[in-house]
Chains A and B, each alone.
Chain A
Amino acid sequence: MTEKTNLARRNFLSKLPVAAATATIAPGVVLQSTSANAEPRSEAVTSKVRWGMLVNANKCADDCSACVDACDKENGMDIHSMPEGADAENWDQQKPRWIRTVKLKDIQTGHVSKLPMMCQHCEHPPCEDVCPTGASFRRADGVVLVDRHTCIGCRYCMMACPYKARSFIHENVDIKPTLAPRGKGCVESCTFCVHRLDNGQTTTACQDACANEGHHAIVFGDLNDPQSKVAKALKKYPSQQVRDDLKLNPGVYYSGI
């Protein structure tokens, strides 16, 4: 973080003479560009950044669900209750779930591993391909989202997602969290905590929770920045993408599975 601030300061200082000159000649231009610098959310995201994640399954603790709980809290799944009259068993399969833990056993060797699964934020997302209205989309910075204004609830994206990462909202939603607005009849999935990213933060709720528990199984950051933690970790550890046979180039990597 400090390193990044220093860089920004250096950049700013180096551009000062140019800015002073421009301000004299074209004050309108400089006004606009300073306001853009001041408000990170008013700038369009670019493909210079690709958000991604490395999950180290060896560090994922057996009896821990901190990432799932944190995601539920961050994105308002915890205030989401079973509709009156619903069958608990059915509801369990109908309620939204953005991140879940999966425990795997290697059929040949018997090796057991545990990992969190969520939207893999593919470079070529099948959900985006099949969405008839374009509501499923991938931002330039690699985050795959659903535009809840144009989602018609056809669920084709859920059919097409190879990671079963998406949830359909099966019921009326009374309390709508500001960070992750949700409504009956639309599809949603993990956003890489996009509300944080757009406000200048660089961590996700699941990553923070995992680190708070002392496991550090999730490393998140900019895959395009060779100096980022995630890029360094990916260079250091062998990793794989789930269903890499589909060549979707997910933004989430796993090691130790």
Chain B
Amino acid sequence: MKKMHYREWGIESTRYWGLLAILAGIIAVAGLAVLHMEHSGHWVTGMNNHVVWGTPHVFAVFLIVAASGALNIASIGSVFNKKCYKPLAPLSGLLAITLLVGGLLVLVLDLGRPDRLIVAMTHYNFKSIFAWNIYLYTGFMVIVVLYLWTMMERKMNGYTKAAGTFAFVWRLALTTGTGSIFGFIVARQGYDAAIYAPLFIVMSFAFGLAFYLLVLGFAFDWDNRELGDRIYMRLKNLLGLFVAATLYFVIAYHLTNLYATENHEYESFILLNGGVYTMMFWVGQVFIGSLIPMGILYHPALGKSRGAVNAAAILVILGGLAAMYVIIIGGQAFPMAMFPGKEVIESGFFDGTVASYSPSLPEVALGIGGIAAALLMTAIGIRMLRFLPESLADDKMDNRQD
């Protein structure tokens, strides 16, 4: 078996610092947006008392979901013993941590009182999924750091499988927790469904792998390292499979809803007459985020083109953001069924009407800042430590067929 060598990201300093400067610039803009929102209050955003979670949550939940999925590559190697995935594992662990930190930053900075984060760390109500999540998220980071240590420190290699299995189970719990934020909400028609937990898990596979493919391709390309077709094709086929699986869960969710009469109005809102939410669902989530990427990934010619596969991965990410928009904003915009059998003809608090929401610039800036923060940490990580294998050329992978 050929030995795999790992090396720090060796691109020229100017490119490296240029990249960091661009990402830091985006983060700085996000920082200004946060200052603006926190100084003035949330009235400067598009959020209101009816749509209480806005664009920052779309990005935050997306990043948290993607984070747990990014770890999947490492899990396939160490938990499911697919040897050819093992060289991919360190980057997978790093991305899992950085995406999670990026998402949590967005989440925390959108709090009404981010200055009270210490309160969230010292006062717990264990009936709340949010309280569980504080442990699930911080625990995830600690476990993945340990997992990375067992991978990157030769003396610890013997523990990789155990650490990887623990991390895999933990990540399933984590994404279950994230999905259950919505799954456990009985008040709103679009939520209150157990399928949110597995839906988020399968979404995480797709979003995390899309991020992984893009970062891996970019990092290797800039550093002139060889990324062989053999492993690349496996990854892109896997992405196609995950996207298809996500679509299956989305169909199952809507079909289940369509069977129950009480959900018909909500379903027609999302699928037929919900305006921007209907468009986000069909155009964003289904076409851009699922069908087109699947078409590219499984196309005999396009599927072999690195550019087209990268485009497919970008579309999966955009479609993922659209999916979160439909779930998070659409789920809140749809009026709550407080009085079954009655029509609200007048209300002093917008009952019975579709809540209005339009994303504001600071919200979008904060969300993009979260992605930039994740990428910045990843760039620094691969530059400083040996996360990337020297080569993933086909001849290096000969003994790693399974």
Contact = CB atoms under 8 A, between A and B. Distances in A.
Interface of A: 65, 68, 83, 86, 90-91, 93-97, 100-108, 112, 114, 117, 126, 128-135, 150-156, 158-164, 166-172, 184-187, 242-243, 246, 257
Interface in B325-340: 332, 336, 338-339
Contacts of A97: 49, 348-349
Contacts of B116: 150-153
A170 B37 CA distance: 10
A78 to B, nearest CB: 14
A95 B351 CA distance: 15
A105 B49 contact: no
Interface string B305-349: 000000000000000000000000000100010110111111111
A93 B52 contact: no
Interface residues of B, number: 53
Contacts of B350: 93
Given A104-B342, A243-B338, 19 more contacts: A65-B348, A86-B43, A90-B48, A93-B50, A102-B346, A104-B343, A108-B341, A112-B345, A128-B125, A132-B125, A152-B117, A159-B185, A160-B187, A164-B338, A168-B49, A169-B112, A172-B41, A184-B41, A185-B41
21 contacts: A90-B48, A91-B43, A94-B43, A97-B49, A101-B347, A104-B342, A104-B343, A105-B345, A128-B125, A130-B127, A134-B124, A152-B113, A156-B181, A158-B49, A159-B185, A160-B185, A162-B336, A168-B112, A169-B41, A170-B47, A172-B41
Q: Which 10 A-B pairs have the closest CB atoms?
A: A153-B112, A185-B112, A100-B348, A132-B130, A162-B187, A103-B346, A93-B48, A100-B349, A134-B125, A170-B43
Contacts, number: 187
Nearest to B346: A103
B123 interface: yes
Contacts of A101: 346-348
A185 B52 CA distance: 12
Nearest to A84: B40
Nearest to A101: B348
Nearest to B328: A159
Contacts of B131: 132-133
Interface string B42-66: 1100111110110000000000000
Contacts of A159: 52-53, 185, 187-188, 332
Contacts of A86: 43
A132 B124 contact: yes
B355 interface: yes
Contacts of B352: 102
B43 A107 contact: no
A151 B117 CA distance: 10
A117 B186 contact: no
A134 B188 contact: no
A134 B134 CA distance: 14
Interface string B168-205: 00000000000001001111100000000000000000
A116 B177 CA distance: 36
Contacts of A95: 49
Interface in B1-36: none
Contacts of B348: 65, 68, 97, 100-102
Contacts of B114: 152
Given A108-B341, A246-B186, A155 B53 contact: yes
B111 A133 contact: no
B121 to A, nearest CB: 9
B112 A164 contact: no
B186 A154 contact: no
Nearest to A129: B127
A107 B112 contact: no
B112 A184 contact: yes
B187 A168 contact: no
Contacts of B224: none
Given A93-B350, A129-B128, A105 B342 contact: yes
B113 A131 contact: no
A153 B134 CA distance: 15
B356 interface: yes
A150 B347 contact: no
Given A130-B129, A185-B113, A106 B41 contact: no
A43 to B, nearest CB: 25
Given A134-B125, A171-B40, A243-B338, A152 B111 contact: yes
Interface in B96-111: 111
Interface in B111-158: 111-114, 116-117, 119-120, 123-125, 127-131, 134
A97 B125 CA distance: 26
Contacts of B351: 100, 102, 117, 164
Nearest to B342: A104
A257 B343 CA distance: 12
A139 to B, nearest CB: 15
Contacts of B134: 132
Contacts of B339: 102, 104, 242, 257
A90 B332 CA distance: 16
Contacts of B187: 126, 159-162, 246
B349 A168 contact: no
Given A134-B125, A153-B112, A103 B344 contact: yes
B119 A152 contact: yes
Nearest to A137: B125
Contacts of A152: 111-114, 116-117, 119-120
A164 B53 contact: no
A243 B184 CA distance: 17
B112 A187 contact: yes
Given A102-B347, A107-B343, A112-B345, A93 B49 contact: yes
A209 B43 CA distance: 31
Contacts of B49: 93-97, 158, 164, 166-168
